[in-house]
Structure 1
Amino acid sequence: MLDTLDLQLLHALQLDGRAPFSKIAEVLDVSDRTVARRYGRLRGSGVVRVTGTLDSHRAGHAEWLLRLRVHPRHTGAVAGALARRPDTAWVSVLSSGAEIVCLVRVPAGGPAPLEALARHPQILDVTSQRLLRHLMDHRWLGRTSALTAEQITALRPPDTSDIATVTLTDLDRRLFPALAADGRAAYPHLAREAGWSESAVRRRLNELRRSRLLQLDVEVDPTLFGFSVQCLLWLTVTPSRLTAVTHTLAADPETAFVGAITGQHNLIAIVICRDSETLYTHLTDRVSTLPGVERTETALITSYTKRVAPP
């Protein structure tokens, strides 16, 4: 479990994944060394990682949710192969042990890679749904509730939404893999990985952040916060009630992600609960009673094979 300082540090990094430890330490009223040591311990134990990914919407990329049915004895191998693909953002294994769900990002107008996956000998069936829009403007409240309003204001980067659109360059294509591995990587390391000068990398990284093409996030296991159950929800909602249902779900503390999708369902959500009893109560007393919700399908997430800033 995490203590109060750990929770504050993770909330601070969620606000700005590359915030200097000195700035975080000043806001939290502790020493720089304490903050650096805490992050080093969390990072070194493998339970926390800051990631830097391309904002698909701003880059004009399409996102596809792929649902694959596989031979149970080959689930690990298939999930691992998907995780190694550069176009997958995250890969999860569901509780049945024979189903995998992953998010794939492709250039705008490009199709989901169904043909290649359908030929895989261990994949029995694959379906796709286009993720049309992310419908939450905040992160899961379970990991972003440790700071005061004043501390949040002090740590939040300035709003730069008026910055002109930035076109991706060859340097960006070299930087993003390194940032996906470590969003807090130092400039000398990024320069070595990209094969460019440190000054060019520093300048370009600042441009990517101002344009919001670079999306920094914190990967952390929810069990560290005392939440042991994660669940995928596919919802069929009456179109006229879609906005109301979305706003209600997004405000729930259990909700980590809500998105609009194509297919027989029109919403997908990820909820995180303390235990199975809490999940049952949330589904029966909350989700199923929302006006407009016609059908719900649920699947427990047992593991993530790849988690590059999942919601």
Structure 2
Amino acid sequence: MLDEADRKILRALQCAPRLPFRRIGEVAGVSEQTAARRYQALRRSGALRVVGLVNPRVYGAAQWVTRIRCRPDRVAPLAEALARRPDISWAHLASGGSEIICVMRSPLDMPREDVLLRQLPRSASVLDVSIDLIIHNYDAPGTAGWTGYGDSLDPEQVRLLTSERPTPAPGPPPPPADEDAPLLDALAQDGRTTHTRLAELTGWSLSRVARRLESLESSGSLEYEVELLPERLGHRLNAILWLRVAPAHLERVGAEAARHDEVPFVGAISGEHNLMVTVVARDPEDFYRFLTTRIAATPGIDGYGVSISVHHLKKAASLISRGRLVPPASL
């Protein structure tokens, strides 16, 4: 189980993923060496990965939520094939193991049929498919992802740490140069790779590594994400709520849902149920409490559905194997 220092380390990383261990230690009230050791222990356990990702907006990619209902005896091979695709950024098995829910990236102007034909293998196991566009992401001010493990930092600490992250320039980010490939590959494996190690992997000088990182980060072309596996932290129930909300209430309901500690992601989508809310809970009773107190207390929701995740397949840049986050290249 996490103690207070662990929780502070996790929260500091979510606010600033490349924060030096010296600063992390200051925030957590431990030495630089202890902060590094605890971080490495979480990383080795498969509960945590910090990854550097190319912003999908660079390539004009939109995000689409796809729900694929399959024959239960044929779902596993299809799910694994989808999870390994680079254009699939998130994937779960749900609804008793017969439904694959995934988020895929594809240009907005691509016809709907082409999206499916390009990214969904033809298979007799597929019974039904629905695909909806994510039209808006809700980011609660001062937060950076799921904090249901217990946020031990006060708002002022969060504000200060978040301010240490690079602030991307406005407007569409430019694409990375071809020569950036080894740098980006290294950061996809470990977003906290040191400048010294990046110089070794790229053959660049330290000053060139620093300049290129600063350019990619400040332009918004390069983003960092802290991937967590909640099961490793004692939160074993993951669910998706599909809410139906009138347009007049959509902004308020989405923003309110995003503020809950149990919620890693909220997105407005184009389907009949037009708000997608992912929820992380400790157990069924914890999820029931969230549903009947937090969601029930939110006016403007006209209907809902629930998909219970039975198996994680992929996070943004990690496959999930034997209950651990692993880079795709390691399998």
Kept in 2: contact 1:238–1:292 (CA 8 A): yes
Q: 1:66 to 1:177 in 2, by over 3 A?
A: farther
Q: Aligned to 1:128, which of 118, 131, 151?
A: 131
Instruction: Give the 3-state SS of the residue equivalent to 2:96 in structure 1.
Output: coil
Residue of structure 2 in register with 1:217 after alignment = 225
Kept in 2: contact 1:51–1:309 (CA 8 A): yes
Kept in 1: contact 2:47–2:233 (CA 8 A): no
Instruction: Give the 3-state SS of the residue equivalent to 1:297 in structure 2.
Output: strand
| Distance (Å, rounded) in 2 between the aligned partners of 1:238 and 1:48 | 37
Q: Aligned to 1:167, which of 174, 192, 196?
A: 174
Kept in 2: contact 1:11–1:143 (CA 8 A): no
Instruction: State the TM-score, normalizing by the size of structure 1.
Output: 0.88
Deviations 1:21-47 (A, max 9, x none): 122223333222111111111111211
| Distance (Å, rounded) in 2 between the aligned partners of 1:159 and 1:197 | 22
How far did 1:269 drift?
Answer: 0.6
How far did 1:192 drift?
Answer: 6.0
Residue of structure 1 in register with 2:254 after alignment = 246
Instruction: State the TM-score, normalizing by the size of structure 2.
Output: 0.83
Kept in 2: contact 1:130–1:262 (CA 8 A): yes
- Which 5+ residue runs of structure 1 have no aligned equivalent? none
Instruction: Give the 3-state SS of the residue equivalent to 2:97 in structure 1.
Output: coil
How far did 1:254 drift?
Answer: 2.4
| Distance (Å, rounded) in 1 between the aligned partners of 2:159 and 2:260 | 23
| Distance (Å, rounded) in 2 between the aligned partners of 1:212 and 1:277 | 41
Written as runs of structure 1 = structure 2, the 5 A alignment for 1:9-158 is 9-57=9-57, 60-111=60-111, 113-116=115-118, 117=120, 119-137=122-140, 138=143, 139-143=145-149, 145-156=151-162, 157=164
| Distance (Å, rounded) in 2 between the aligned partners of 1:144 and 1:285 | 19
Q: 1:145 to 1:87 in 2, by over 3 A?
A: same
| Distance (Å, rounded) in 1 between the aligned partners of 2:108 and 2:298 | 34
Q: 1:83 to 1:200 in 2, by over 3 A?
A: farther
Written as runs of structure 1 = structure 2, the 5 A alignment for 1:174-189 is 174-189=182-197
**Farther-moved stretch of structure 1 (278-287 vs 296-305):** 278-287
Kept in 1: contact 2:11–2:147 (CA 8 A): no
How far did 1:3 drift?
Answer: 1.4
Kept in 2: contact 1:180–1:308 (CA 8 A): no
**Farther-moved stretch of structure 1 (235-244 vs 220-229):** 220-229
1:148 maps to amino acid: D
Deviations 1:256-307 (A, max 9, x none): 2110111222111101222212222332444245332122110111221111
Deviations 1:228-261 (A, max 9, x none): 2111011111111112211321223322211011
Q: Does 1:269 align with 2:277?
A: yes
Deviations 1:107-128 (A, max 9, x none): 4433563114151343333221
How far did 1:202 drift?
Answer: 3.1
Instruction: Give the 3-state SS of the residue equivalent to 1:90 in structure 2.
Output: strand
| Distance (Å, rounded) in 1 between the aligned partners of 2:202 and 2:110 | 27
1:147 maps to amino acid: L
**Pairwise CA RMSD of aligned residues?**
2.7
Instruction: Give the 3-state SS of the residue equivalent to 1:109 in structure 2.
Output: coil
Q: 1:125 to 1:191 in 2, by over 3 A?
A: farther
2:279 maps to amino acid: V
Residue of structure 2 in register with 1:4 after alignment = 4
Instruction: Give the 3-state SS of the residue equivalent to 1:280 in structure 2.
Output: helix
| Distance (Å, rounded) in 1 between the aligned partners of 2:216 and 2:292 | 43
Instruction: Give the 3-state SS of the residue equivalent to 1:89 in structure 2.
Output: strand
Kept in 2: contact 1:66–1:129 (CA 8 A): yes
How far did 1:93 drift?
Answer: 1.0
| Distance (Å, rounded) in 1 between the aligned partners of 2:161 and 2:241 | 33
Kept in 2: contact 1:59–1:213 (CA 8 A): no
How far did 1:71 drift?
Answer: 2.5
How far did 1:153 drift?
Answer: 4.1
| Number of aligned residue pairs | 310
Kept in 1: contact 2:8–2:27 (CA 8 A): no
Q: 1:277 to 1:144 in 2, by over 3 A?
A: closer
2:147 maps to amino acid: L
Residue of structure 1 in register with 2:324 after alignment = none
| Distance (Å, rounded) in 1 between the aligned partners of 2:202 and 2:69 | 37
**Farther-moved stretch of structure 1 (136-145 vs 255-264):** 136-145
Instruction: Give the 3-state SS of the residue equivalent to 1:278 in structure 2.
Output: helix
How far did 1:8 drift?
Answer: 1.0
**Farther-moved stretch of structure 1 (214-223 vs 188-197):** 188-197
Q: 1:289 to 1:143 in 2, by over 3 A?
A: closer
| Distance (Å, rounded) in 2 between the aligned partners of 1:144 and 1:170 | 41
| Distance (Å, rounded) in 2 between the aligned partners of 1:56 and 1:251 | 24
Instruction: Give the 3-state SS of the residue equivalent to 2:101 in structure 1.
Output: strand
